[in-house]
A = this chain, B = another copy of it.
């Protein structure tokens, strides 16, 4: 048996939920779904409550599942009612939990029970294509996957998800900008296995187009000037690219990791070593005389919805990196940190923290009389000019 097969066999065992785990999740999900149904009924709302997400599709990874509980309302209901009445009612009914309100395209609730993160998400009961909110597709996604994923394919999907998690490209939220669970499952279904998925991903170039039922193709990007890197047609909505939220860095990381993994298969791709905190001393030793300097710009800010906060932080990070580069600092890496609440920081790893006092400023050629003169005059008169051209 090859190294690859050995590794995958080991990983399969570890990503597949145990019977005990399944039982625990079934009990928990059954109870919570019942709770939400009861609360909504008692508050006078008519809704269909269902389990969604990777738990419902049975593609969750052992020890790592979220529980998505969706409440589908009539399309005649105003979205403000969700914010004003529905979510407060549920929050009140579940007040024994520490429920927080979150917001992506629309509001939802989040809390933890027995180590499992639970999301309660409102959406509309609409026909395919008549989408009223971003989450209306989810029940159709679940339906589609339940109908198409065989037990064998579910194991492959679990492998692929764990791989994506291990290399840090899993999660569609703006903070991550990676692969959603639905995207992972669709790739596993399309390529029939983990191994075929990463084998193909290894040779992805720009504008790869994937659509269930059609061969992989290259699409000259029509709409976007920026060039979309990966297009995976949503099986329940041909107008939607499941990979739209995947940032190029994450995509190419996935591609590069796929290549490396095939070259030397290793379980570490799925189970990376746990992050080990450094002591203050270890940390300062590691950056001392390394030729690199760390700059942390930490600040307080108003409490913001997560997606808004991370969108803003990324803008700030991008601006700072651009500015530093323009001023001729070499930025080796940049990173963001946030308490998730009112404190955040941008971290820059640079070659130096102080520029030289002097800089050579080249003006237009003397042959261009006007340009040359209008460059020289203010610069020769400037107090911070060290020396003229002569």
Contacts and interface: CB of A to CB of B under 8 A. Distances in A.
Contacts of A204: 367
User: A204, A352, A367 — which one has the most chain B CB atoms within 10 A of its CB?
Assistant: A367
A270 to B, nearest CB: 15
Interface in A210-252: 229, 252
Nearest to A292: B358
Given A259-B373, A330-B359, A352-B356, A252 B367 contact: yes
A360 to B, nearest CB: 5
Nearest to A167: B390
Interface in A243-299: 252-253, 255-257, 259, 289-292
A360 B366 CA distance: 36
A290 B358 contact: yes
A201 B49 CA distance: 87
Given A255-B366, A256-B372, A292 B357 contact: yes
A358 B252 contact: no
Contacts of A352: 356
Given A203-B369, A256-B389, A369-B202, A360 B330 contact: yes
Given A356-B352, A369-B202, A390 B253 contact: yes
A365 interface: yes
B351 A358 contact: yes
A225 B162 CA distance: 61
A205 interface: yes
17 contacts: A167-B390, A202-B369, A204-B367, A205-B367, A206-B367, A252-B365, A252-B367, A253-B390, A256-B389, A289-B357, A291-B357, A291-B358, A292-B356, A292-B357, A292-B358, A330-B360, A351-B355
The 5 closest A-B pairs by CB, nearest first: A291-B357, A351-B356, A252-B366, A291-B358, A291-B356
